[in-house]
Amino acid sequence: MKKVSKVLVVLLIAIFSTFVLASCNDKESVESVSPTGAVESNRLIIVDKAGNTLYDQKFDTDKTTLKAVLDEKEIPYTMNGTMVSSVYGRSNQIDRSYCWMFYTDADGMTDGTDPYTYDGVQYGRASYGITELQIKQGATYVIVFVKFE
């Protein structure tokens, strides 16, 4: 009887140790998981001044800024200093009546002014340009050629 008790104790210790070691995995997940358990992708949308969608794709990336994502996706754009001056060959107007603006639903990345609505969803104007606009898992980023009045 003592042998059986010792075997059970050793077996329980081994099982317990396995669970403890398995739960000590120090890797952090880089994916965001929705309440349903599905991995959330990001989305990038580009709209011209006529409201035509030039690009609308979901994406997963390890890039941290919108500029890095545009580079990764090989979306043609040019910059003048820190300002985006053209996307897909469509350039800002000299009088700045039209220029490229950035919108998102990413937490902490909008300034709360001048929202933009795309397919019935409202996005806040980004507080940052593409070099600083952080990619947040599950967020949508909208680049729009907008008119200023």
Pairwise CA distance, residues 27 & 94, whole Å: 50
Q: What is the mean pLDDT of residues 19-23?
A: 33
pLDDT at site 113: 85
- Grade residue 39 by pLDDT with cuts at 50, 70 and 90: low
Across the range 69-79, mean pLDDT stands at 95
Least confident window among 8-17, 75-84, 93-102: 8-17
| Mean pLDDT in residue range 73-80 | 94
The architecture that CATH gives domain 42-147 is: Beta Complex (2.170)
Render pLDDT for 87-145 as a digit per residue (tens, 0 to 9): 999 999 888 789 999 999 999 999 888 899 999 999 999 999 899 999 999 999 999 99
Residue ranges covered by each domain of the chain: 42-147
Residue 34: the pLDDT is 40
Residue 5 pLDDT exceeds 80? no
**Cβ atoms 99, 146 nearer than 8 A:** yes
Q: What is the pTM of this model?
A: 0.71
